[in-house]
Structure 1
Amino acid sequence: MYLHIQKLINEIATDEPDPGAANALQEGLGGQFGEMRTMMQYLFQSMNFRGDPSSQPYKDLLQAVGTEEISHVELIGTTIARLLDGAPGYTGKPSDPVDKPGAKGATPLSIAKDTGNIHHFLVGAQGALPVDAVGNPWSGSYVYNSGNLVLDLLYNLMLESTGRLQKCRIYEMTDNKAARSTIAYLIVRDQAHENAFAKALESLGVNWGKVLPIPKTNAEAFPEVKKLLDQGLQSVQYTFDAEHASQAAKLYRGASPSGDGTELSTAQMPQGGPPITIAPERREEFAPGLDAELLSLIQATAEIEIEKESS
């Protein structure tokens, strides 16, 4: 079972909308090496896990990382929506007619024709989509679950390494503060997950450093990443286990495989986190939410149903 907290796992910095950056982030969400892939892959590996009781730490580690990836999907999807919401070119007010020209006489959604992904405006009402950066739908065929623990862990290590490499490239594509705050966080957490799978492989006697050398990305050169690395965020893995029964700590401990001089440790869940807020209405998208009359009708209907149930 899963519990949800009305907070994001990391704060999204405030900046101007940027549809181009939003579309680049779509690769990190719905691409072959994106957050939807990692979430589904680790959760399926955990659900399908087989073994005797001594293998419980491996199942728990997969479960923990997969659960964290749900929060990463939430974070990157919310970031994409914020990068699209109120995109430049529309400066209307709630009292304006929906077809009122925007800045310099532009039509309200003119930016959709030549910036980023037009589906963000045509289909998604200025929100994230389950696609990659060129609009290909996310596919369940991305998920690798062989049933062989060593193969799965090797594949997971490669997946995290490739995802981190791509996020470093996305970071270099934009200077938007909102985009970079999320990208930097995911770069560091990808490293934490690399450490998780590398440590698990080492416990199985696999010398992954020779079998699968990971190119150094020098991501610490990015100031937002350096700040998080200095906090040791790359060396802690959350269990998200409400009953403190996870055995993932049996694997995620000792010297970090990253070779950065840190020690690995586990924690139940991240502390703090900014509250999740509801985005404003977007009249130009014909996505105003509930109008007053409809809301009143829903409330009246609910009251009638409550009375029926209590009588």
Structure 2
Amino acid sequence: MFMNIQRLINEIVPDEPDPAAANALQEGLGGQFGEMRTMMQYLFQSFNFRGAAAKPYRDLLYGIGTEEISHVELIATTIARLTDGSPRYNGSPEAPLDEAAAGGATPLSTALSAGNIHHFLVGGQGALPVDAVGNPWSGSYVYNSGNLVLDLLYNLMLESTGRLQKCRIYEMSSNKTLRSTVAYLIVRDQAHENAYAKALETLGVDWGRTLPIPKTAAERFPEVKTLLDQGLAEKQYTFSLDNLSEAGKIFQGSAPAAMNGATLRTEQSPEGYPMEIAVERPEEFAPGLDPALLELVQQTAEMEVAQASDPTD
């Protein structure tokens, strides 16, 4: 059973809209090595897990899989902000992507010149379950062999490749909105690499100098270094409200990819950051609550309140 807290797992730093950056980020969402795959792969491995004696490994998969749900949410929200072309956006009138904000006659004109036109044509200035070239996300990406060691090896490969791609996406744009999200995911991917590598280490694997993969020295990215200095790569969340998770039996001791002898530790969940709902997009005819519908909603709410407060009802 999953619970929901209406907070983002990481802060999204505001910046100018950038549809091209949004399209690059689509790969990190719906690509073969993106967050939709990690979410589905780890959760299905958890759902299909066998063997009560190996419960700590199942709990580790559950915790990481649950976190990946929040990563999907984070990337999707970031893409929506990067594609923001509404006339209500109060940005710089001089910037090319702000033509709509400056009162242009064609507020969706940016859809024709940069990024993925489907973000505007199909998605209402929001994320889509596709990769960077528009291929739909596929369940065939999900690997779940039923063999614990094979699954852990595949998961480590998935996190390593995902982090490699995010380092490349980071280098594609200086947009602060994009980089705030990508930097966070780079660090969390490394934390998950540590988790799967440590799990395999408990099963007899000696990594030596092999990890981390890739050896990107991502700490040269300032946003990444800040998060690494906070120890974000050495902690794993259990998301276990009843505290029955045994993932801490695996995620402990020194990290396989540790620098300066970093120690692994588990926590229940991050505090998160306030979540704001985006304003309407009139040029997209969304969300569609015109004055008449809003009045009807208000009347219905008042009627329900009156009924609830009437003791004779």
With the length of structure 2 as denominator, give the TM-score of the two structures: 0.90
Uncovered stretches (5+) of structure 2, i.e. residues with no partner = 91-98
Match of residue 94 from structure 2: none
Match of residue 28 from structure 1: 28
Whole-Å separation in 1 of the counterparts to 2:33 and 2:49:
22
Whole-Å separation in 2 of the counterparts to 1:197 and 1:156:
7
Taking only aligned residues, the RMSD between alpha carbons, in angstroms, comes to 2.3
Percent identical pairs in the alignment equals: 72
State whether structure 2 residue 116 is matched by structure 1 residue 127.
no
Match of residue 8 from structure 1: 8
State whether structure 2 residue 178 is matched by structure 1 residue 179.
yes
AA partner of residue 64 (structure 1): G
Deviation at 1:304, TM superposition (A): 5.6
Match of residue 251 from structure 2: 252
AA partner of residue 66 (structure 2): T
CA 1:282–1:198 in structure 2 vs 1: closer, same or farther (change >3 Å)?
A: same
Deviation at 1:259, TM superposition (A): 2.7
Q: Secondary structure of 2:264's partner?
A: strand
CA 1:78–1:105 in structure 2 vs 1: closer, same or farther (change >3 Å)?
A: closer
Q: Secondary structure of 2:8's partner?
A: coil
Whole-Å separation in 1 of the counterparts to 2:174 and 2:254:
34
Whole-Å separation in 1 of the counterparts to 2:245 and 2:89:
51
AA partner of residue 30 (structure 2): G
Q: Secondary structure of 1:265's partner?
A: strand
* Deviation sequence 1:221-279 (CA, Å, 0-9, x none): 100000000010000000000011100000000001113120000000112x2211110
Match of residue 98 from structure 1: none
AA partner of residue 36 (structure 2): M
Match of residue 243 from structure 1: 242
Deviation at 1:104, TM superposition (A): 7.9
Match of residue 41 from structure 1: 41
State whether structure 2 residue 130 is matched by structure 1 residue 140.
no
Match of residue 50 from structure 1: 50
Whole-Å separation in 2 of the counterparts to 1:302 and 1:239:
38
AA partner of residue 9 (structure 2): I
- Report which stretch shifted further, 34-43 or 298-307: 298-307
Match of residue 63 from structure 1: 62
8 Å contact from structure 2 (residues 211, 256) kept in 1 = no
* Deviation sequence 1:69-106 (CA, Å, 0-9, x none): 0010111110000111126xx5689xxxxxxx944855
Match of residue 95 from structure 2: none
Whole-Å separation in 2 of the counterparts to 1:67 and 1:11:
19
Whole-Å separation in 2 of the counterparts to 1:30 and 1:9:
19
Uncovered stretches (5+) of structure 1, i.e. residues with no partner = 94-100
CA 1:42–1:85 in structure 2 vs 1: closer, same or farther (change >3 Å)?
A: same
With the length of structure 1 as denominator, give the TM-score of the two structures: 0.90
AA partner of residue 12 (structure 2): I
8 Å contact from structure 1 (residues 156, 197) kept in 2 = yes
8 Å contact from structure 2 (residues 33, 158) kept in 1 = yes
Match of residue 270 from structure 1: 270
